[in-house]
Structure 1
Amino acid sequence: MTATGTPRRIGLLGGTFDPVHIGHLRGALEVAEIVGLDEVRLVPNYRPPHRETPNSSAQDRLTMVRLAVQELPLLAVDARELERDKPSYTLDTLESLRAELDEDDQVFLIVGWDAFCGLPSWHRWDELLDHCHILVMQRPDADSDAPEALRDLLAARSVSDPLTLTGGGGQIAFVWQAPLGVSATRIRQFLASGRSVRFLVPDAVLAYINAHGLYRASN
């Protein structure tokens, strides 16, 4: 707990970050400011269960995320999933983090709409809200409905205003965001074809990519 005795409000944003880009950073910052979080921790996945193996190494991805947040006080990096050397289950991460925090500290799991809709396929997904609140980054152009498996959960646990979330967990709120239309897949494609990705990733990340020849067609 902080010196003032005020509970901390910590956001978690997981991903492969292959590479980290402005969409990740902008989304994390918007959520932190809108919901009033003390920090958002970017959590690079080691081996995501629902996605292909990352194109770059765990060390490269971790270094790029650290470079990306070095001048952003609201953002931090949490490397615990890379240190586990096994598939990255969000529930394990939440349980590990909770063991380090004070009882009154709040944890907010930040996910995009697509990831939220896939929640029923996650490892022990029905236990996630025992450890955190869930903040869904929803874009105005998202037009798909939540799957049936989530409808009862949304009816029982969702709140209209994320600022009203209280306690250690158990509720879901939506944070509306302007779409940026940036994806790591597109960035990798640009790099493989020799196109510039400047302004899509932080300059420090681009310098690292260039210095190490990441995502080039020969890789």
Structure 2
Amino acid sequence: MSSDINPSPPPPTMDFSNPPNYTFPTHRLARFLRNPDKQPVVLVACGSFSPVTYLHLRMFEMAKDYVRQNTDWEIVGGYLSPVSDQYKKPGLLNAQHRVTMCNLAADLTSTWLMVDPWEAFQSYQRTAVVLDHFDYEINTRLGGIPLADGSLTKKPARIMLLAGSDLIATMSEPGVWSEPDLDHILGRYGVLIIERAGADMDQAIDALSRWRHNIHLIHQLVQNDVSSTKVRLFLRRGLSVRYLLPSPVVDYIEQHGLYMDDGPTASAAAGAVQSEKEKGKEKEGADSSSNAAC
């Protein structure tokens, strides 16, 4: 087995804004690296999770299998990072409900997944900044992952984005993501992409060939096209969503009468496109002002 990603130096200390009473979750982060020769990796999935589905959870298991069979990395943690309410997606359920559902799903169906509410309870944060946040919390504040139980020696963890193939399709579309952000996400961190039914990834990946070594495509051996959009549609039509979502999430939705009137059926990918476009323009404007001042 070989690794396509070499450990990068830790980022400079950054001033991140934190939501009120925020604490970074580490209760399921590996206490030590089982194999000291391997590269510790933390998976981060960003998204609406409105609601979280079995496919969202299944993505982490598929990534874990891929890593075990094809690399010399070791997964030491997995995080769901629900997006802010300021994501500008029509009909987006409020963050409190989405974070609660993600916690129910992670706590009651997994032994290693966690939910980080940092992104959810503040202004919209670009994906590149979210990954920097995880890098800072795990590698700067915690100092990395101990090499052995009780060891004082620690190894920096590689933060990697975990996403469906619709995300890489938007990344390959000109003008959607800023070039600096793409280079930061794909060049510094890398991404594990879960193939979705009917998606043709070859063209998208070719358009991102500069970062091809950091893009890892994972094929679904059992096809699953469950999406949050379809689940919301079912709920509005009064159809059952049992066995599409974890039972505690279904119970929570029914208890609170969620998604009975969801508004326009905009997809998460559409929301991502719009948000990244706007944030990219803001960043370019700030960069231009900074350069002019110098």
TM class by shorter chain equals 0.7 to 0.9
Does the aligned pair in 2 maintain the 1:107–1:131 contact within 8 Å?
no
Counterpart of 2:199 in structure 1 is 142
| Equivalent in 170, 174, 177 of residue 118 of structure 1 | 170
| Equivalent in 228, 244, 261 of residue 200 of structure 1 | 244
Q: How does 1:53-202 map to 2 (within 5 A)?
A: 53-71=90-108, 72-83=110-121, 85-100=122-137, 101=139, 102=144, 104-119=156-171, 121-123=176-178, 124-139=181-196, 141-143=198-200, 145-147=202-204, 151=206, 153-154=208-209, 156-159=210-213, 171-177=214-220, 178-202=222-246
Distance in 1 (CA, whole Å) between partners of 2:83 and 2:206 is 28
Q: Per-residue displacement from partner, 1:56-89 (whole Å, max 9, x unpaired)? A: 1100000000000113013211111013x21231
Distance in 1 (CA, whole Å) between partners of 2:86 and 2:98 is 13
Counterpart of 1:162 in structure 2 is none
Q: Which amino acid aligns with 2:177?
A: W
Bigger CA drift: 71-80 or 120-129?
A: 120-129
| Equivalent in 76, 97, 107 of residue 38 of structure 1 | 76
Displacement after TM superposition at 1:15 (Å)? 0.8
Displacement after TM superposition at 1:8 (Å)? 2.9
Q: How does 1:7-26 map to 2 (within 5 A)?
A: 8-26=40-58
Distance in 2 (CA, whole Å) between partners of 1:125 and 1:48 is 21
Q: Normalising by the residue count of structure 1, what TM-score does the alignment of the two structures yield?
A: 0.81
Alignment coverage as a number of residue pairs: 203
Q: Normalising by the residue count of structure 2, what TM-score does the alignment of the two structures yield?
A: 0.62
The alignment partner of 2:203 has SS state of coil
Does the aligned pair in 2 maintain the 1:16–1:54 contact within 8 Å?
no
Q: List alignment gaps of at least 5 residues for structure 1.
A: 160-170
Distance in 2 (CA, whole Å) between partners of 1:59 and 1:190 is 22
Counterpart of 1:166 in structure 2 is none
Give the helix-richer structure, 1 or 2: 2
Q: Per-residue displacement from partner, 1:140-191 (whole Å, max 9, x unpaired)? A: 63235434xx63642x4334xxxxxxxxxxx221111132121111111111
Could you say if the C-alpha distance between residues 217 and 90 of structure 1 is closer, same or farther in structure 2, counting changes exceeding 3 Å? closer
Distance in 2 (CA, whole Å) between partners of 1:143 and 1:4 is 36
Percent of aligned pairs with the same amino acid: 28
Bigger CA drift: 122-131 or 89-98?
A: 122-131
